[in-house]
Amino acid sequence: MLTLLSPLTRKLSAYVALSPGDLDILARFHKRRRSFRLGHELVHEGQSHGSAFVLAKGWACSYKMLPDGERQIVDFQVPGDFIGLRSILFRTSDHSAEAVTRIEASEVLASDILDSFAQAPRLATAVLWAASRDEAMVVEHLVNLGRRSADERMAHFMLELGARLRLVGVGDATGFDCPLTQYHLADVLGLSAVHVNRVLRHLREEGLMTFQKGRVSFDDIARLKQLAAFDPEYLDQGRPFLPAPGA
Amino acid sequence: MLTLLSPLTRKLSAYVALSPGDLDILARFHKRRRSFRLGHELVHEGQSHGSAFVLAKGWACSYKMLPDGERQIVDFQVPGDFIGLRSILFRTSDHSAEAVTRIEASEVLASDILDSFAQAPRLATAVLWAASRDEAMVVEHLVNLGRRSADERMAHFMLELGARLRLVGVGDATGFDCPLTQYHLADVLGLSAVHVNRVLRHLREEGLMTFQKGRVSFDDIARLKQLAAFDPEYLDQGRPFLPAPGA
């Protein structure tokens, strides 16, 4: 049953047991579904009246442009994630987002959010949870840049991606298909592409993980978690936390 | 009138025009108000059934502990900010928070959030906005660590604090009272205390800003903004964005 649900529904169901009424309202978040080509800019920093999207298939990334033309990738989005939620909550978008692969995504308007909150407060809590979880991931990326070695950063980042994907039914404990380039990894981890290459080789030679031909393989996930001091609690993705009303 | 409101009400009013009914419900977020001494740990990473707080007076900080005992400060909280919102939304708190000064703060329970969302959907949107704004700040701190020079980091961080404080009626364009030590600044900016000292001296000698005797003075705010490429749009604190219902 769960596999028939959209990735967003599946993700939010990790937090609240959604009622049939909640699910009907959530379905409205999926009605304007479109395909976008690789590289399509979905959200533009500084744009007013922007859109948000719910990602159904493929990968996207959110980033900030610096005055010198450099870019800092803040996070990647995988199926079930919101893209550009702040661009409909804020007057102008504080970041940009683009498609990393060909994607399928549904546009969400500010009115969809407001209407759904008015009709389904539990769904509102679940959206707040999803946004807070996104923030918890940005916090970990900040810790990556501020405090972790290059090996630790890579290990932590890949373990996070693996856990996020498993929540929406993609990949498993052995690994996941990953469309990212070494330039993407360099950009999000604050390393040079050459350094990324060296780190990946080192992790492979140590028998911890392999990233080859578009696939991340966890060769020894226990030791990889130990290296990164990876504690997945910040992803908060166990059994539903809020039971069904009356349950 | 606005100055009689709590800092949180004042902040959320920058986003939505809150109705008298919304204000009544928001008042419940303030009913369990207590004082805490400097250094009191309000939220503990890994803790279940934690509390969140609304800060009314003083400063707090949120941080992550690393396995080697090092700490990465993620952000500071000023009056009107939530402390540890994720510790009531998540099964276990993904971060810690402590009082930087003596503070006054009101405890908020998960049920306060759920009940308020059920009764005041516009307030739910405002809380989602506040959480998203917190995320936008963490994104800027990530960009600080990843892409900005030491001078730029300090300038950007102080301009952000100044803007946040002005939203809740503290400080003005000339500066603000700041209880942070050079160790706090080093920790949040990813610099050594010695480097912080050097950066502050440099900014002062350049006539841009001075941090002395617990006060940050913006000596030339236009040039300071230029140095940091500071664009306050990510703080989203103009006139109310969502007008009153029926307005």
Express each pLDDT in B29-83 by its tens digit. Answer: 999 999 999 999 999 999 998 889 999 999 999 999 998 888 999 999 999 999 9
Q: Which residue in A1, A7, A16 sits closest to A238, CA to CA?
A: A16
Contact at CB, B236 and A90, closer than 8 angstroms = yes
Contact at CB, A138 and B139, closer than 8 angstroms = yes
Distance from CA of B83 to the nearest CA of A (A): 13
| Sequence-distant contacts of A144-149: CB under 8 A, at least 24 apart | A144/A189, A144/A190, A145/A189, A145/A190, A145/B142, A145/B145, A145/B146, A145/B190, A146/B72, A146/B145, A146/B190, A147/B66, A147/B70, A147/B72, A148/A228, A148/B66
Distance from CA of B95 to the nearest CA of A (A): 8
Nearest chain A alpha carbon to B46: A233
pLDDT of A1 reads: 43
Nearest chain A alpha carbon to B94: A234
Tokens coding A150: 């290059």
Contact at CB, B129 and A238, closer than 8 angstroms = no
Contact at CB, B94 and A234, closer than 8 angstroms = yes
Contact at CB, B91 and A238, closer than 8 angstroms = yes
Distance from CA of B214 to the nearest CA of A (A): 26
Whether residue B1 has pLDDT greater than 60: no
Distance from CA of B122 to the nearest CA of A (A): 7
Mutation test of the interface with chain B: which of A145, A153, A160, choosing the one with the most B Cβ atoms within 10 A? A145
Cβ contacts of B229 on chain A, cutoff 8 Å: 66-67
Mutation test of the interface with chain B: which of A122, A143, A239, choosing the one with the most B Cβ atoms within 10 A? A143
pLDDT of A67 reads: 87
d(CA A224, CA A162): 12
What kind and span of H or E run contains A129?
Answer: helix A121-147
pLDDT of A175 reads: 97
Percentage with pLDDT > 70 across chain B: 95
Nearest chain A alpha carbon to B89: A129
Query: How many Cα atoms are found within 13 Å in the side-chain-facing hemisphere of A150?
Result: 17
Q: Do domains B2-137 and B148-232 have the same CATH topology?
A: no
Nearest neighbour of B233 by CB, restricted to A70, A92, A234: A92
Q: pLDDT tens digits for A15-37?
A: 888 999 999 999 999 999 999 99
Cβ contacts of B241 on chain A, cutoff 8 Å: 90-91
Instruction: Domain B148-232: give its CATH architecture.
Output: Orthogonal Bundle (1.10)
CATH (residue range B2-137): 2.60.120.10
Superfamily of chain region A2-138: Jelly Rolls (2.60.120.10)
Distance from CA of B164 to the nearest CA of A (A): 15
Nearest neighbour of A138 by CB, restricted to B91, B117, B142: B142
Contact at CB, A72 and B127, closer than 8 angstroms = no
Contact at CB, A233 and B147, closer than 8 angstroms = no
Average pLDDT along chain A, 247 residues, taken 10 residues at a time:
75 91 92 96 92 96 92 96 93 95 96 92 93 95 94 98 95 96 96 97 98 97 97 83 59
What is the 8-class DSSP label of residue B30? G
- Tell me the average pLDDT of chain B: 93
Cβ contacts of B64 on chain A, cutoff 8 Å: 139-140, 143
Which residue is it, tokens 């500010």? A110
Neighbours of B104 (CB within 10 A): 16
d(CA B51, CA B34): 13
pLDDT of B2 reads: 45
Domain parsing of chain B, residue ranges? 2-137, 148-232
pLDDT of B49 reads: 82
pLDDT of A244 reads: 62
Whether residue B46 contacts residue A233, with contact meaning beta carbons closer than 8 Å, is answered with: yes
| Candidates 3.40.50.300, 3.40.50.1820, 1.10.10.10, 1.10.1740.10; CATH matching A149-235 | 1.10.10.10
d(CA A203, CA A224): 9
Nearest chain B alpha carbon to A234: B94
Confidence band for B168, pLDDT divided at 50, 70 and 90: very high
Q: How many residues does chain A have?
A: 247
